[in-house]
Structure 1
């Protein structure tokens, strides 16, 4: 048999990667070397999950170009990182490639108004048709797997399977166990079949949003080695852009690295540093502007639905996240789907996989990673679908901010009392840290117009909470000093004596100084506000 070329699913060639290289390309070909090491080993099956817009499709096109035996890709890779690794030429263009984007099959089924139950068989039929077109000498009447086996025998080349959005059908058919089972059985036939897998499959690379589903059907692909956004392992630098890569891009495009970091950084992994959203970074470079390039997704639309469910006080947790806190999360119970939620931990873990939260494995905590994602959570504050309790909190917070800027100390103290009495307050209200916790809740609406900084070094001390007005804002800066069982007058005096506003030099505007205290005996808050301190 001669090797045929340029199918849609079978041996698609290298044109996809050629197009990528026509634009600015950050070299991620080093990932190929990691996959090469798995060929011929028990770890030849890889499942790598990442959030949307983190370069999954770019990676699949790169792998197709490298492994596909129907084309010559030396000119695409000889000057790349992979060319300097062992095994580069050994595996270059040496395999048949089956490349599947599962979302394409789902979209086509929907376009034709066909049931999702047809998708697994459509996949088989599409690959089989191309296989028989490319190799017409294959005997008729045999199954796809039989013909794939025969193709390996005749050509002496095994197959590399590259599957993009592998979990799309699992997500789309949520609640329909029969469809999910049929799809997983297809994967089982390819990757967990002792009469087929060792003889036909050289390697498999599957990528998607979710890890393998944790239920009785997981055995369909239990032999896959998984690298998730929770634990990307040796693939961490290929999860997104590294900090050094972003610095080079900023230098090349004349962009302010610190601004880019504030907007797109936040996915941190111990020992490896920051990982950036590659899609958003490249958009910012091309547009010469940092802003949100986050695409609205069905998962984002469901965010408010999850919050309204209020699993174990989930609304409170989201409030704390928006106000800048890190929250402890148990990620072990998540069943890797969009439907099985038994606790707030499950919802928060899903948001990690979707890229809306970043996970700190060492501390077991999550936080909102950067300004771009924070903008998605801001939409919750401005949305109309929130339940009554949530909207009341936001309404109180907005009025509190207005009263603070207006210097209405009594109104501010009263508003803080009201928020202290809601479900959002800490259980144990017994120290200054608890007061800080309530204050951050109280001013949650400020994140629309301010950048919040806690314990900001300034003058001769550290200011408790400073709200810096965002660029081009006409609002004053806010310096908040907290006292427990001490007077609000003493808080204002400390702001002045320690010269906290010194850190705001250069902002050019006014400062509102708010001293907020709590008297544990009287069980009452007090607030003193002074304004019109000029800086610049």
Structure 2
């Protein structure tokens, strides 16, 4: 065993013997089906920090790598039931690289590719020293010589492949040299049995094209068949909550919300910390911190702050993810910034609708931390008064609600272009920020009767609060909004809902200001 060539199974052994271990070994069967198949043997998985990427890389290293016996580690695991299990168990030469280990500080940027190749070649010399000479083409040349003489290929596993782009944000020449190295290592290489890379960002683009276009990407935007293997599924979290006597509905509100295909995925680090500590709080402090988030949401792109305000109010934003260049510096629009935040784990994405949203209370808290300070003062004040406005709504205090919405309007006027119904919607979402403790995420423009209700809040399970059906008007009247709700039977879709419902009409007129009308609605009688 070497440091980089067939490094053994020690890292995976530590994971398997941990108090909290979720069996994801059936992912190995998917990789087995890709071995030595030129069209599918190049895999790149991108997820936010602490989503289990490194552990999966350790698992593959332990399973495939020669020089150790991993049978006991996989005994009783899901992969053991697959017909390909014995065929590949500890039968392959594995090169396992963690790029971060070669980048201790920025002084290494100009030499790390050379040092990386030297380190791997040093390991290869112990096993295959009589099969190759010094090669002017570096590691790719050496691997080619070994393959030509022995017919033996390699599985190459690279963890944190993209850290160069995060560490050397402004060093374009270093980035391109690194991509050239990877292209030379992989493209057309017969010695590659499987190439498996992980990172936070997908493969770097230049223009519309991937810099290493041979890789099949499994990202948080397009997870494909690997969705369930990075992060914890709902079923897995429910099982842990039962085992540790933790309230699942609260865990769901705090840590659920990453939408990968048709699956809801939880950040495994946060869930594990919750089980260990028993405290519902943000566990992101040690990973991507709120300071990093603040750098991006403070960027001066048209519509960015409005989008953040809407999402802080549990709303959603349509975004175009296709033009993002998969780096942290080529940011030209608000959609580029929001797409980066998706990859960093601060947002999630509903592919069906093309919308981004804040996934859960843990991340909402990080946004709250990030907007403390200059530029966001009004938003912070608006959020603090949100609980009072919600209480006034339940009390059907129309005047207090109108005054509360007006105050939020005034406090966010420097950010929101308050000139249409959409701006009013953003204001109302911000005004009802604290509703997330009692209500599910709001539904916007839900088809109801002969039209669309603007905003609908449904109570969470076992929460004794009325549903809120809100209709917004611009330069009309709040009474007219209520009349429209009743006339067009907006509440018909809620006829199966047996709880109380409040109909809320909110209007803004430059001369009259904000006005609000609230009426109770009986879903059973339709009155």
Q: TM-score range by the shorter chain?
A: 0.7 to 0.9
Match among 119, 143, 147 for residue 126 of structure 1: 119
1:416 aligns with 2:405: yes
Corresponding residue for residue 204 of structure 2: 213
Residue 453 of structure 1, CA deviation: 6.4
Distance 1:304 1:69, change over 3 A: same
Give the alignment partner of residue 154 of structure 2, picking from 155, 159, 162: 159
Counterpart for residue 348 of structure 1:
338
What is aligned with 2:420? 428
Tell me the CA shift for residue 307 of structure 1: 2.3
List aligned pairs for 1:300-319, cutoff 5 A: 300-319=290-309
Q: 1:325: which partner in 2?
A: 315
Report if aligned partners of 2:66, 2:93 keep a CA contact under 8 Å in 1: yes
2:280 pairs with 1:295:
no
User: Residue 336 in 1 paired to residue 326 in 2?
Assistant: yes
- Deviates most, 11-20 or 150-159: 150-159
Query: Could you say if the C-alpha distance between residues 453 and 353 of structure 1 is closer, same or farther in structure 2, counting changes exceeding 3 Å?
Result: closer
Tell me the equivalent position of 1:172: 167
Q: Structure 1 residues 65, 155: closer, same or farther in 2, change over 3 A?
A: farther
Q: 1:163 to 1:217 in 2, by over 3 A?
A: farther
CA distance in 2, matches of 1:38, 1:514: 56
How far apart are 1:10 and its partner, in Å?
1.0
Contact 2:64 2:88 in 1 (8 A): yes
CA contact 1:404–1:514 (8 Å) conserved in 2? no
- What do you get for the CA RMSD once the two structures are aligned? 3.7
Shift in alpha-carbon separation, 1:454–1:25, aligned structure 2, 3 A: closer
Give the superposition deviation at 1:25.
1.6
Q: Structure 1 pair 52/447, CA: closer, same or farther in 2 (3 Å)?
A: farther
- What is residue 266 of structure 1 aligned with on the other side? 257
Q: How many pairs are equivalent?
A: 481
Matching residue within 99, 102, 105 for 2:102: 105
8 Å Cα contact 2:321-2:336 kept in structure 1: yes
How far apart, in 2, do the equivalents of 1:360 and 1:217 lie?
Answer: 22
Question: Offset of 1:235 from its aligned partner?
Answer: 0.9
SS at match of 2:342: helix
State TM-score, norm by structure 1: 0.79
Deviations 1:150-207 (CA, angstroms, capped at 9, x unpaired) = 4345555311000000011122122222111211121111101x3xx11x11111001
SS at match of 2:195: strand
Q: 1:222 to 1:480 in 2, by over 3 A?
A: closer
Q: Does residue 1:52 correspond to 2:42, yes or no?
A: no
Contact 1:514 1:527 in 2 (8 A): no
Structure 1 unpaired stretches of 5+: 456-461, 495-501, 505-512, 530-536
Shift of 1:83: 1.7
Whole-angstrom distance in 1 between the partners of 2:103 and 2:208: 21
Per-residue deviation, 1:64: 0.4
- Distance change (3 Å), C-alpha of 1:260 and 1:405: closer
Cα distance in 2 between the residues matched to 1:486 and 1:225 = 53
Once residues 403 and 219 of structure 1 are traced to their aligned partners in structure 2, the CA distance between those partners, rounded to angstroms, is: 49
1:523 aligns with 2:519: no
* Contact 2:315 2:442 (8 Å CA) reproduced: no
